[in-house]
C-alpha cells in the first residue's frame, strides 16, 4: 500500500504489521454494525474520521459484520481517506440465515475467490491491505485455503495475508505456503488461550499478533452496558454473561475498576495497557462506535503499568468459555 500521507498519522506510537508501520492501536469496527447495542450511523462515521485524524492507521472489518453492512459503512470514509489507512477485512465465516450469527467456516478455493470480490466491491477499493481467513475450515487442508489466498496477492487484489483463530499447527502450515503478516485472535486479561502456543509460533513465523476483543467485549471496562447487555445483544449468548459465571466475572471486573483508580486511569486503559505490554509486536484493535470511547482507549498509549499491577492482572482468570461452542476454535487443523 502507499504510505499513509497525512502528518497526523504519525502522531501515535507506531508498531509493525510485519514490515509495515501501523499505529500501536487499531480500530475494531464490528460494533458499528453488529453484536453490541444499537448501531448509530452518524456517530460511527464521526468515530472513523476521528480515529484517522488522531493517527489510527489500521481499520478492522469483516464481510460478515452486519452481513456486508460494516464494509459498506467503511466505504463512506474510505472514499476520501483510503491512503491514510491500512485496511483489514476477513472472509471465511458463513452466517446462519435465521439468526444472522456465525454458523460455520468455509475455506474452499472457490469461496476465497468469490469472497474477495464481494469485499472489494462493498469497500469500494481496488486492493485490501490485509486479508484474513476469519476461521480455519478444518474440513479441508489449510494449504488449499492459503494457496487460493496467495493467488489473490499475485492478482493484486490483496497485499498481505492473515489468519484469525488458527491453531499453532495450522499457523505453521499456512506460513509454509505464504507469509502470514498477522494472526488475529481473542486476547485480553480475560482471554489468555493463545499465549502458550499460538503467540510463540506467530513470533517464529514473523506474524504480528492482533488481539481482538481486547476489552473483553466491553466487560473489562466495567460499563453497565457491557455487564448488563440488552436483549438481543450478542453478549447474552456467551457463557461469560450467564448466571454464576457473570457474577464471578463482575467481581473480577470490580477489582480491575479499583486498580484503574489506583493508577489514575480508566479500566479500558488498564486493559489495553496490559495487552500492549505483552510485546512490541502486539497491535490490539479495541472496538468502539463512539468518539468518547475512542479517546479513552487512546489514553492507554500513555499508560505504563507497574510490574506488580501487570502481575495481578495476569493472575486473573475469567469464568466461562469465550464462545458457547468452542468447536469454532481450530485446535489441531486437519492433515
Ligand X SMILES: NC(=O)c1ccc[n+]([C@@H]2O[C@H](COP(=O)([O-])OP(=O)(O)OC[C@H]3O[C@@H](n4cnc5c(N)ncnc54)[C@H](OP(=O)(O)O)[C@@H]3O)[C@@H](O)[C@H]2O)c1
Residue numbers at the binding site for ligand X (CB under 6 A):
28-31, 36-37, 60, 134, 164-165, 184, 212-218, 221, 223, 226, 268, 285-290, 293, 296-297
**Cα(239)–Cα(262) distance, integer angstroms:** 30
Q: Quickly list DSSP for 111-131.
A: HHHHHHHHHHHHHT-S-EEEE
Q: Give me the least distance between CB of 65 and ligand X, in Å please.
A: 7
Instruction: From residue 183, give the alpha-carbon distance in Å to each of 42, 79, 158, 254, 300.
Output: 31, 27, 16, 31, 22
Placement of cell 502528518 in the chain = 7
**Cα(155)–Cα(84) distance, integer angstroms:** 23
Q: Give me the least distance between CB of 271 and ligand X, in Å please.
A: 8
Q: Give me the least distance between CB of 62 and ligand X, in Å please.
A: 7
Q: Give me the least distance between CB of 173 and ligand X, in Å please.
A: 19
Nearer to ligand X, 203 or 291 (CB): 291
Nearer to ligand X, 155 or 230 (CB): 230
- Please, what is the Cα angle at 181 between 61 and 278, to 5 degrees? 85
Nearer to ligand X, 66 or 287 (CB): 287
**Cα(44)–Cα(59) distance, integer angstroms:** 13
Cell numbers for 332, please give them: 489441531
Nearer to ligand X, 81 or 190 (CB): 190
Residues 75, 281, 106, 30, CA torsion sign:
negative
Nearer to ligand X, 223 or 245 (CB): 223
Q: Give me the least distance between CB of 226 and ligand X, in Å please.
A: 6
Q: Give me the least distance between CB of 7 and ligand X, in Å please.
A: 26
Cell numbers for 166, please give them: 488458527
Nearer to ligand X, 166 or 335 (CB): 166
First to last CA, the chain: 34
- Write down the catalytic residue from 34, 36, 65, 131: 65
Residue 323 appears among annotated catalytic residues: no
Residues 112, 116, 122, 123, CA torsion sign:
positive
76 Cβ contact list (under 8 Å, min separation 6): 45
Positions marked active-site: 65
Amino acid at each position: 500500500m502507499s504510505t499513509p500521507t497525512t502528518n497526523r498519522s504519525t502522531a501515535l506510537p507506531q508498531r509493525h504489521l510485519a514490515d509495515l508501520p501501523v499505529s500501536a492501536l487499531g480500530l475494531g469496527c464490528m460494533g458499528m454494525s453488529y453484536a453490541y447495542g444499537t448501531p448509530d450511523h452518524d456517530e460511527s462515521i464521526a468515530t472513523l474520521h476521528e480515529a484517522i485524524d488522531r493517527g489510527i492507521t489500521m481499520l478492522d472489518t469483516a464481510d460478515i459484520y452486519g452481513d456486508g453492512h460494516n464494509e459498506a459503512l467503511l466505504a463512506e470514509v474510505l472514499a476520501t481517506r483510503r491512503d491514510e489507512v491500512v485496511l483489514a477485512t476477513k472472509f471465511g465465516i458463513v452466517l446462519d440465515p435465521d439468526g444472522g450469527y456465525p454458523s460455520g467456516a468455509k475455506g474452499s478455493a472457490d469461496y476465497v475467490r468469490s469472497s474477495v470480490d464481494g469485499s472489494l466491491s462493498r469497500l469500494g477499493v481496488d486492493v485490501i491491505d490485509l486479508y484474513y481467513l476469519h476461521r480455519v475450515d478444518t474440513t479441508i487442508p489449510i494449504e488449499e485455503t492459503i494457496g487460493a489466498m496467495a493467488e489473490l496477492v499475485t492478482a493484486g487484489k490483496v497485499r498481505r495475508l492473515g489468519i484469525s483463530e488458527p491453531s499453532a499447527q495450522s499457523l505453521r502450515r499456512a506460513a509454509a505456503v505464504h507469509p502470514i503478516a498477522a494472526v488475529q485472535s481473542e486476547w485480553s486479561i480475560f482471554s489468555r488461550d493463545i499465549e502458550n502456543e499460538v503467540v510463540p509460533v506467530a513470533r517464529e513465523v514473523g506474524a504480528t499478533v492482533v488481539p481482538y476483543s481486547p476489552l473483553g467485549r466491553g466487560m473489562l471496562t466495567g460499563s453497565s452496558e457491557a455487564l448488563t447487555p440488552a436483549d438481543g445483544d450478542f453478549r447474552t449468548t456467551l457463557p461469560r454473561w450467564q448466571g454464576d459465571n457473570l457474577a464471578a466475572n463482575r467481581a473480577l471486573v470490580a477489582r480491575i475498576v479499583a486498580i484503574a483508580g489506583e493508577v489514575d486511569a480508566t479500566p479500558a486503559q488498564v486493559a489495553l495497557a496490559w495487552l500492549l505490554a505483552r510485546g512490541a509486536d502486539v497491535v490490539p484493535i479495541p472496538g468502539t462506535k463512539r468518539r468518547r470511547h475512542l479517546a479513552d482507549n487512546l489514553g492507554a498509549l500513555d499508560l505504563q503499568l507497574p510490574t506488580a499491577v501487570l502481575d495481578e492482572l495476569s493472575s486473573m482468570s475469567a469464568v466461562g468459555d469465550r464462545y458457547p461452542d468452542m468447536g469454532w476454535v481450530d485446535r489441531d487443523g486437519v492433515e
